[in-house]
């Protein structure tokens, strides 16, 4: 243990790089069997979890203080100061000014608190989401390969490295097969670098040492094993992490658009306030009163509650998507999702369940049926004799493991499910894999990659070494020179090739995924690709069923109705791809697809590819490599489409990055893919993408809803003030304190509730929104002007109706006149009532509220209940009456306001009915 402590305290990398593999393992008290579970637990307690503890964060107090330095806050603080001053300068002194000053300060404090809480909540959400993205490491413990959370790695752990894995700790390589790593995160160097197990002299600096791999880097290709030398903060990455405090700015265009709009409106408010100030002053108003009046106008127009509401709406969207298995890593993706026009999806696992079962084995010129479904090795292989050798070779060439039932779980596969199916079939044929591997242990491996589409293992028995190769049939067939038939091994002539291909097409045409299996003797365990994967003897083909996910058919239809094109881009064989595309509805019955293979793509330039995409609505890509996927994505983007693409492998990362929405698989994907993606599907299913698109559309719609809701009441607040100025009424029809009570009191919750609206009926029956369409489109502005103007007329009428019925000349009204106080209350209550009806109106642009359902958003009803309660308190509670200069309203007053206010909804219903009629006519 003492030795270990030394090894993992200082200079772990340097010490480890100079040692031989055995010395490195011994120094860390580890072995080729890895640590024991007990030793791992003890070390975890001693060294702590393998996590990067956040560096010193900005203190809470400082973060709170930061909220007061925002432009809005500063302006409001200055306004409040000036209002206080106005009280002392005023003659006579108006206590209303003190109240206003305090109210403005209260607004600043409230806004700062909301902003602070939101920032905090957003950070927590981000952390929680990050934690949900699975991050695992494969290690050898007690001689067994197991998966553990990466955070539980300890020094001495033997980790298994495969292409696409993120390296989760600093390690010394102890086994390497064509292993290359990408150190970009650490060194900025983008080209992959080779790793091997040879000791490196101490003068080589650790980052250059070829036998070390670092936390934060990724395995580019090949495979290997490495022993952990440092974890968590002790790693090189941890050191860098401590030095840089990380802040991730949210640069969502939506937020920017809203912020710009809010700023513009604020500037307009200041300009208008200034203009009115000058106008009223030159008409002979007193300096102080005019100033307070102008301030009221400004405050009425500034959309104080907007940024808070927007953040909450986006956060709600993210949370809803997470519940439906789609984790969004960047808020910006929520809005982009809604305008997705093309989804490029792979097949295995996304459209299909990836629960493979071998159904047919083609060997010695005949097909042999295999019965049973799932991973339970229960079933039979018809005539297993000729099949057994094929399944023995195939099963020995697998990394996956079959796990027997435990607890409530049945038979499972650890690792690749294609391989799992082979293991099950071998067991059904009566093979004892452990015994086979004992007599011919694996002593070399050329791992699978989706470019070669092959995997090879090397096995030695009695001094002779054999290569076991499995892979895509056409690729493997091209490397075979012989075939094993009924009469033994013979040369693979053209007839035999044709026979194999026909068998392959027969299986693929019935949606089976086909793998070919071959073998040959090689010179020794060191055989490379050139020797082991050429001159092979073909043993036969294995056809496995990968059933379509049942939920996918409905989702593909939903996407089509929503004007979204679904394009399959798969590594699998064309016929299998077509058969599955038909079963899930990507290809409609009777449609002959234009199937493009990776090889054809290589001979197609970008312009021709674009033409191909526009001219062939039923295009399908098969046998493609990751770089082809990237080209398809790029071509769609160049055509102006908004593209979502799925990917799981490490080499899918460029396509995921290039797409507007990179979608990685949470269950089967590699760490690299998950890092490159903006969305991670927890259940790997295509259906979750369709749901996320629907939710993305609904979030965008909801944002528009509350923007209309919030901006239209600004008109309702402003117009009465302008009208009073125009007709020479000496006092304001709505005080600044009242405006603030509406903007930050009664209107905030209903606006938030509109952000929780469920997707509107028919939301997926419309074409996607153009990404170029600005949030504040002409339609949106027209909409809030329409609703706002009706509201303005209602509110102005309510105020002047009360003033008029008193029959007193304007000039006689003073601040404390009871009729004026009642009229003030009418204005405020009028806005609250109008907003009640307005909220129902904005819930859909074209559908009647009766279709949407008056009671279908309980949050909205509750929020409006609170808003009305606030208004009643302001009207009837004496302490609030004195702050707001209000008076109790009679039932008749309320009745009048309800009748007038309902006009907002009635007028909008008429507009919608006309719109629908016009739509039906065209
Ligand atoms: N473990 C494996 N060993 C050998 N060959 C494999 C293995 N997995 C897949 N293959 C072969 O390589 C081909 C390509 O695999 P790849 O993973 O690129 O795509 P896919 O899984 O078939 O489809 P998709 O891209 O839709 O997920 C497969 O069709 C299969 O023939």
Cβ–ligand 1 distance for 455 under 6 Å, the answer yes
CA-closest residue to ligand 1 atom 7: 471
Instruction: Name the residue among 382, 304, 288, 349 with its Cα closest to residue 70.
Output: 304
CA distance 780 to 759: 19
Tell me what pLDDT residue 5 has. Answer: 36
Give this prediction's pTM. 0.73
Tell me what pLDDT residue 248 has. Answer: 36
Point out the ligand 1 atom lying closest to the alpha carbon of residue 349: 27
Q: Which domain holds residue 866?
A: 254-316+697-756+774-921
CA-closest residue to ligand 1 atom 14: 571
How far apart are the CA of 149 and the centre of ligand 1, in A?
A: 26
Instruction: Name the residue among 612, 624, 545, 620 with its Cα closest to residue 582.
Output: 620
Q: Which residue from 399, 572, 624, 684 has its CB within 8 A of the most atoms of ligand 1, so it is best to mutate? A: 572
Give the helix/strand (H/E) hosting 519: strand 512-522
| Domain closes at, from 196, 218, 248 | 248
- Whose tokens are 């259940």? That residue is 683
| Domain closes at, from 545, 577, 593 | 545
What's the CATH number where 646 sits?
A: 3.40.50.1000
Instruction: Name the residue among 81, 122, 470 with its Cα closest to residue 312.
Output: 122
CA-closest residue to ligand 1 atom 29: 572
| 684 tagged catalytic | no
How far apart are the CA of 491 and the centre of ligand 1, in A?
A: 27
Point out the ligand 1 atom lying closest to the alpha carbon of residue 419: 1
Q: Which residue from 350, 415, 416, 448 has its CB within 8 A of the most atoms of ligand 1, so it is best to mutate? A: 448
What is the Cα gyration radius of the chain? 35
CA-closest residue to ligand 1 atom 23: 571
- Check whether residue 678 and residue 785 sit in a common domain: no
CA-closest residue to ligand 1 atom 8: 418
Q: What is the DSSP string of 203-263?
A: TS-GGG-TTEE-TT-EEEEEEEEEEEEE-GGGSHHHHHHHHS--------HHHHHHHHHHH
CA-closest residue to ligand 1 atom 5: 471
Tell me what pLDDT residue 1 has. Answer: 34
Q: Is residue 236 part of a domain?
A: yes
- Check whether residue 639 and residue 492 sit in a common domain: no
Cβ–ligand 1 distance for 416 under 6 Å, the answer yes
CA-closest residue to ligand 1 atom 12: 453
- Check whether residue 143 and residue 53 sit in a common domain: yes
Check if the beta carbon of residue 24 is closer than 8 Å to that of residue 197: no
- Check whether residue 160 and residue 292 sit in a common domain: no
- Check whether residue 3 and residue 139 sit in a common domain: yes
Check if the beta carbon of residue 868 is closer than 8 Å to that of residue 762: no
Point out the ligand 1 atom lying closest to the alpha carbon of residue 649: 17
Residue from 157, 170, 346, 546 carrying the catalytic annotation: 346
Mean pLDDT by 10 residues, the chain (922 residues): 37 72 90 92 90 62 80 78 81 72 81 75 59 74 89 92 86 89 69 84 78 86 90 78 42 64 80 86 78 75 72 79 84 81 92 91 92 88 85 93 81 86 94 93 84 91 94 95 91 94 94 95 88 95 93 92 94 92 91 92 94 94 89 93 86 83 83 80 89 90 90 90 86 84 84 88 86 82 94 96 91 88 96 96 92 91 95 94 91 96 96 92 83
How far apart are the CA of 168 and the centre of ligand 1, in A?
A: 26
Q: Is residue 641 part of a domain?
A: yes
- Check whether residue 262 and residue 244 sit in a common domain: no
- Check whether residue 460 and residue 442 sit in a common domain: yes
- Check whether residue 513 and residue 576 sit in a common domain: no
Q: What is the tally of structural domains in the chain?
A: 4
- Check whether residue 477 and residue 410 sit in a common domain: yes
Point out the ligand 1 atom lying closest to the alpha carbon of residue 573: 29
What's the CATH number where 850 sits?
A: 1.20.1110.10
| Domain closes at, from 513, 545, 577 | 545
Point out the ligand 1 atom lying closest to the alpha carbon of residue 348: 27
CA-closest residue to ligand 1 atom 27: 348
Check if the beta carbon of residue 483 is closer than 8 Å to that of residue 490: yes
Q: Say how many CA atoms lie within 13 Å of 568 toward its Cβ.
A: 35
Point out the ligand 1 atom lying closest to the alpha carbon of residue 450: 18
Tell me what pLDDT residue 304 has. Answer: 67
Q: Which residue from 344, 452, 571 has its CB within 8 A of the most atoms of ligand 1, so it is best to mutate? A: 571
How far apart are the CA of 353 and the centre of ligand 1, in A?
A: 14
Report residue 338 as tokens: 């809604």
Confirm whether the ipTM is greater than 0.90: yes
- Check whether residue 910 and residue 857 sit in a common domain: yes
Distances (CA, A) of 808 to 716, 727, 802, 903: 25, 15, 11, 29
Q: Which residue from 422, 468, 472 has its CB within 8 A of the most atoms of ligand 1, so it is best to mutate? A: 472
Q: Say how many CA atoms lie within 13 Å of 474 toward its Cβ.
A: 14
Cβ–ligand 1 distance for 572 under 6 Å, the answer yes
Check if the beta carbon of residue 195 is closer than 8 Å to that of residue 173: yes
88: region left, alpha or beta (phi > 0 left; psi from -120 to 50 alpha): alpha
């Amino acid at each position: 243990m003492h030795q270990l402590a030394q090894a993992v305290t200082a200079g772990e990398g340097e010490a480890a790089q100079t040692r031989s593999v055995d010395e490195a393992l011994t120094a860390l008290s580890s072995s080729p069997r890895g640590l024991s579970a007990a030793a791992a637990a003890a070390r975890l307690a001693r060294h702590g979890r393998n996590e990067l503890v956040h560096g010193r964060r900005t203190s809470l107090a400082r973060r709170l203080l930061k909220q007061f330095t925002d432009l809005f806050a500063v302006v409001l603080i200055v306004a409040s100061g000036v209002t206080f001053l106005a009280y002392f300068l005023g003659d006579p002194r108006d206590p209303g000014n003190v109240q206003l000053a305090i109210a403005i300060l209260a607004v600043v404090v409230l806004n700062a608190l909301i902003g602070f809480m939101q920032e905090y909540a957003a950070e927590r959400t981000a952390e929680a989401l990050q934690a949900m993205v699975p991050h695992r490491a494969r290690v050898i413990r007690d001689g067994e390969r197991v998966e553990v959370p990466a955070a539980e790695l300890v020094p001495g752990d033997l980790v298994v490295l495969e292409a696409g894995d993120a390296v989760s700790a600093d390690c010394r390589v102890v086994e390497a097969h064509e292993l290359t790593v990408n150190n970009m995160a650490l060194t900025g160097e983008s080209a992959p670098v080779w790793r091997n197990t040879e000791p490196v002299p101490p003068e080589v600096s650790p980052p250059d040492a070829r036998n070390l791999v670092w936390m934060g880097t990724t395995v580019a290709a090949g495979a290997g094993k490495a022993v952990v030398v440092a974890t968590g903060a002790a790693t090189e990455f941890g050191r860098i992490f401590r030095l840089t405090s990380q802040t991730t700015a949210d640069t969502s265009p939506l937020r920017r658009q809203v912020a710009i709009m809010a700023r513009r409106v604020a500037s307009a408010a200041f300009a208008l306030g200034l203009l009115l100030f000058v106008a009223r002053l030159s008409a002979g108003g007193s300096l102080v009163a005019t100033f307070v009046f102008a301030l009221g106008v400004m405050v009425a127009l500034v959309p104080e509650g907007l940024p808070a509401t927007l953040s909450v709406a986006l956060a709600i969207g993210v949370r809803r998507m997470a519940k439906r298995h789609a984790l969004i890593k960047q808020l910006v993706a929520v809005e982009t999702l809604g305008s997705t026009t093309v989804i490029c999806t792979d097949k295995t696992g996304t459209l299909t369940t990836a629960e493979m079962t071998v159904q047919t084995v083609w060997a010695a010129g005949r097909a042999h049926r295999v019965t049973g479904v799932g991973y339970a090795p229960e079933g039979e292989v018809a005539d297993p004799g000729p099949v057994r050798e094929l399944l023995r070779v195939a099963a020995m060439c697998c990394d996956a493991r079959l796990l027997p039932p435990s607890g409530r779980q049945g038979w499972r596969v650890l690792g690749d499910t294609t391989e799992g199916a082979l293991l099950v079939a071998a067991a059904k044929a009566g093979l004892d894999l452990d015994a086979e591997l004992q007599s011919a242990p694996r002593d070399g491996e050329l791992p699978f990659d989706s470019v070669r589409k092959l995997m090879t293992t090397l096995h030695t028995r009695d001094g002779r070494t054999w290569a076991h190769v499995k892979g895509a049939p056409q690729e493997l067939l091209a490397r075979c020179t012989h075939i094993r038939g009924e009469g033994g091994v013979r040369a693979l002539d053209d007839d035999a090739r044709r026979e194999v291909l026909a068998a392959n097409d027969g299986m693929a045409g019935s949606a089976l995924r086909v793998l070919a299996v071959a073998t040959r003797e090689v010179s020794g365990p060191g055989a490379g690709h050139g020797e082991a994967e050429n001159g092979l003897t073909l043993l036969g083909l294995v056809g496995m069923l990968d059933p379509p996910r049942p939920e996918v058919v409905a989702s593909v239809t939903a996407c089509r109705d929503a004007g979204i094109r679904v394009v399959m881009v798969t590594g699998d064989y064309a016929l299998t791809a077509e058969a599955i595309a038909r079963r899930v509805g990507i290809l409609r019955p009777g449609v002959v697809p234009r199937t493009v293979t990776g090889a054809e793509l290589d001979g197609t330039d970008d312009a021709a590819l674009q033409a191909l995409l526009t001219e062939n609505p039923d295009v399908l890509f098969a046998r493609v490599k990751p770089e082809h996927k990237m080209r398809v994505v790029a071509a769609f983007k160049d055509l102006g489409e908004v593209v979502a693409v799925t990917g799981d492998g490490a080499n899918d990362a460029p396509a995921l990055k290039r797409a507007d929405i990179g979608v990685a698989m949470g269950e089967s994907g590699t760490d690299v893919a998950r890092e490159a993606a903006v969305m991670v599907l927890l259940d790997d299913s295509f259906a979750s993408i369709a749901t996320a698109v629907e939710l993305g559309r609904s979030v965008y719609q909801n944002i528009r809803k509350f923007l209309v809701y919030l901006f239209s009441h600004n008109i309702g607040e402003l117009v009465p003030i302008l009208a009073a100025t125009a007709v020479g009424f000496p006092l304001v029809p709505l005080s600044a304190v009242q405006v603030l009570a509406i903007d930050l009191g009664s209107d905030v919750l209903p606006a938030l509730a509109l952000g929780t609206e469920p997707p509107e009926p028919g939301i997926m029956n419309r074409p996607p929104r153009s990404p170029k369409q600005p949030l504040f489109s002409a339609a949106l502005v027209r909409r809030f002007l329409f609703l706002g103007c009706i509201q303005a007329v209602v509110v102005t009428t309510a105020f002047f109706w009360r003033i008029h019925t008193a029959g007193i000349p304007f000039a006689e009204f003073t601040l404390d006149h009871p009729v004026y106080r009642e009229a003030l209350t009418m204005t405020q209550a009028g806005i609250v009532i109008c907003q009640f009806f307005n909220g129902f109106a904005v819930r859909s642009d074209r559908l009647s509220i009766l279709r949407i359902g008056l009671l279908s958003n309980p949050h909205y009803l509750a929020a409006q209940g609170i808003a009305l309660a606030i208004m009643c308190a302001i009207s009837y509670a004496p302490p609030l009456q004195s702050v707001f200069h209000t008076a109790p309203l009679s039932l008749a007053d309320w009745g009048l306001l309800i009748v007038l206010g309902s006009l907002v909804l009635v007028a909008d219903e008429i507009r919608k009915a006309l719109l629908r009629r016009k739509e039906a006519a065209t």
